[in-house]
Structure 1
């Protein structure tokens, strides 16, 4: 089951998000960052839940996204975060979240969904998922510390 997480449910995403973002060490600080900084800028959060999980159970996978516009692509959906708990990987949760964000994007009249993914060897399974969902490598992403 997938659904959008809204305050005060943000802490339900913490464990799954921490699997991707290990520098996040505190659920309260994470929730404050999401709810007070990211959400006002348009960030939204989807969670996937084990069908056997009780109400209030942590999400086993999460997807954070936002709608943005630029000159290159016009208005599009950008996936900032997609993470699954290690013990829940390979069970279709990330696929379900991607399919849900595709539905949301279509509903918003947006035809493109973009995401970036690291190139470390441990990201190979994620890349396989993206290719299976018809994503393609469209550009290099460069960054620099200043």
Structure 2
């Protein structure tokens, strides 16, 4: 299992994994949004490769931020695995990679949001050392 950051020329490789989390996006739409909108705002992608198929089967999108409440943090915007590869350790290895990246950049915390209905994801995150510290409230405009 290989973990590797994906540059702009590799964005499409993360689509199949991200499609599980963001099904409203087409492949072309995903690549355009990531490369033209999100990357200029600091968004980065990292993928976990399946050795047998040579494809990215799990991916995480993240950015570094500085928050008044917490200081420097790494924020995970997106983390997803294709269904056939779940339970094989890809997400846990991505989380470990993200933690190393956060430490490298002198972050004091790693943050991520998970939908309230994503119970399997909650268990994964807690198993990997995350704590539920707050609720993020939203209001549709």
Q: Which residue of 1 aligns with 2:37?
A: 37
Matched residues in 2 for 1:30 and 1:141: separation? 25
Alignment equivalent of 1:80, drawn from 77, 82, 85: 77
The gaps in structure 1 that reach 5 residues or longer are none
Q: Which residue of 1 aligns with 2:125?
A: 130
Are 2:71 and 2:107, in contact at CA under 8 Å, matched by a contact in 1?
no
Matched residues in 2 for 1:117 and 1:105: separation? 19
Q: Which residue of 2 aligns with 1:50?
A: 50
Matched residues in 2 for 1:32 and 1:22: separation? 15
Matched residues in 2 for 1:118 and 1:15: separation? 20
Larger strand share, 1 or 2: 2
Deviant stretches of 4+, over 6 Å:
none
Q: Which residue of 2 aligns with 1:65?
A: 62
Are 2:65 and 2:72, in contact at CA under 8 Å, matched by a contact in 1?
yes
RMSD: 0.9
Please give the secondary structure, in 1, of the residue aligned with 2:87.
Answer: coil
The gaps in structure 2 that reach 5 residues or longer are none
Q: Which residue of 2 aligns with 1:140?
A: 135
- Greater mean alpha carbon deviation, residues 67-76 or residues 38-47: 67-76
